[in-house]
């Protein structure tokens, strides 16, 4: 038997033991065409290992980064299913405890045969290197970080977003899966929470493709200003403003929002705050306060993580979170809800309402994944197969994180603090009319 044959035989033994002891509800497809268990159906859910170097790479560097690199390079893949199917098939019970039943001899045999096995190293995934530099808060750095994610391709984002191309959490007023309806309801809810009225000056920080500023100008008669650092988004947003005949009502700015001047009655920040970085929070909230008129309303919509027992524990990045920041949102950082509220109060705001939208974002990201996966071939033609695989695992991972409560999203409505009445209604009945 050849050395490769011995490797495969050792791996089969180990995977067979693991399948039995862990009670796995999936199989494995090996690079020689065999399956584990041997009788696993060809159309069943499987993890495919494309070459011996996959096992060697995971043994040498057993980290999430390695797994991501291998998956993006299509050297390890999910067959006959998606990451959601893989998550549903996870073992019942604690894996560590179940794994104790796997014979150590089988594990050692795989290690000794694969640890020095030849094989191409996992290719580097495109990213911005240097987390510290990516969070320095400089306008030039912010622009580069935003371009990395949002200037991928307008055509690519059209494949899975709604018609208005709203790239933030939708709002499901009922149990449905109509993304167009849910995003329209989200825009409407934002306008209601801000109590927009004709003549208001609205600033939308991180305006994306202009959905909110256009909606607010059309339906609430406001003078809307959007600010963004994404050049590709801005081009399309300006085309849409012109197509809707809103040139006199909507103005779009390509600049860091901290460089904006003037005062606004209402300010919204919908899914932009995650890009700021914790060390830059004081600068961010000071700028919002400077731009907001006295008693003006600010809607703070942001993803967050659960608070830990200590801030030191909170600041330790889990592997999944570090990968998200490194490969998808360079410079990004999530705070916890208490940190946001404390910062808002420290910087001159009165908090009025907080609403959790976690389950709304779980459904939104799941729909984005399904829509992109259904048009995968078009996505690969537009941005390449590697980046498409990265985006699919990112969307699926986000949905699972929101489902399990590892990631949260909240809308917090505040006013610029002044003595006396806030000017808000005594109840929130007007939001749900």
- Helix, strand or coil for residue 125? coil
Instruction: Indicate the DSSP class of residue 419.
Output: S
First to last CA, the chain: 75
Residue for token pair 């489902």: 403
d(CA 212, CA 410): 18
What beta strand segments (E) does 335-392 contain? 349-356
CA 400 to each of CA 83, 88, 160, 180: distance values in angstroms, whole numbers, following the listed order: 9, 10, 18, 22
* Token representation of residue 381: 């033609």
If 0-12 CB within 10 Å is exposed, 13-18 middle and 19+ buried, where does residue 338 land? exposed
Where does 194-230 have alpha helices with state H? 211-220
Closest CA to 358 of 303, 395, 276, 320: 303
Is 398 known to be catalytic? yes
Cα–Cα distance between 77 and 420 in angstroms, integer? 60
Both tokens assigned to 48: 């495919």
Strand order across the beta sheet in which 76-79 lies:
35-36, 27-29, 46-49, 76-79
H or E segment and range at residue 87: helix 83-88
- Which residue is catalytic, options 191, 207, 214, 398? 398
Catalytic residue list: 398
């Amino acid at each position: 038997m050849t050395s490769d044959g011995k490797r495969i035989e050792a791996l089969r033994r180990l995977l067979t033991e693991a399948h039995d002891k862990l009670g796995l509800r999936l199989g494995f497809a090996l690079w020689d065409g065999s399956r584990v268990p041997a009788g696993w159906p060809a159309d069943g859910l499987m993890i495919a290992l494309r070459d011996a170097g996959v096992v060697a790479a995971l043994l040498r560097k057993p980290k999430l980064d390695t797994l991501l690199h291998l998956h993006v390079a299509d050297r390890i893949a999910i067959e006959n299913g998606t990451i959601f199917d893989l998550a549903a098939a996870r073992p019942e019970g604690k894996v560590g405890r179940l794994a104790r039943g796997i014979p150590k001899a089988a594990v050692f045999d795989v290690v000794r045969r694969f640890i020095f096995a030849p094989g191409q190293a996992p290719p580097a995934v495109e990213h911005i290197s240097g987390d510290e530099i990516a969070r320095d808060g400089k306008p030039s750095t912010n622009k580069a970080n935003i371009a990395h994610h949002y200037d991928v391709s307008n055509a690519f984002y059209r494949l899975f977003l709604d018609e208005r191309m709203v790239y933030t959490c939708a709002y499901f007023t009922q149990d449905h899966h109509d993304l167009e309806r849910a995003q329209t309801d989200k825009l409407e809810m934002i306008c209601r929470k801000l109590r927009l009225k004709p003549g208001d000056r609205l600033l939308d920080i991180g305006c994306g493709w202009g959905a909110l500023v256009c909606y607010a100008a059309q339906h609430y008669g406001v003078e809307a200003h959007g600010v963004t650092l994404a050049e590709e988004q801005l081009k399309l947003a300006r085309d849409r403003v012109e197509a809707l005949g809103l040139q006199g009502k909507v103005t779009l700015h390509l600049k860091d929002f901290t460089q904006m001047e003037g005062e606004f009655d209402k300010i919204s920040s919908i899914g932009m705050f995650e890009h700021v970085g914790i060390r830059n929070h004081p600068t961010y909230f000071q700028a919002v306060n400077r731009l907001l008129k006295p008693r003006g309303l600010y809607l703070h919509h942001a993803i967050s993580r659960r608070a830990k027992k200590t801030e030191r524990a909170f600041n330790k990045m889990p592997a999944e979170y570090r990968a998200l920041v490194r490969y998808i949102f360079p410079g990004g950082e999530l705070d916890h809800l208490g940190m946001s509220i404390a910062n808002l109060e420290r910087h001159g705001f009165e908090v009025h309402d907080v609403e959790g939208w976690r389950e709304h974002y779980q459904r939104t990201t799941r729909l984005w994944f399904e829509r992109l996966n259904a048009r995968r071939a078009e996505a690969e033609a537009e941005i390449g197969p590697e980046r498409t695989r990265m985006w699919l695992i990112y969307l699926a991972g986000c949905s699972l994180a929101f489902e399990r409560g590892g990631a949260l999203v909240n809308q917090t409505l505040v006013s610029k603090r002044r003595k006396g009445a806030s000017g808000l209604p005594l109840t929130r009945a007007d939001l749900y009319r």
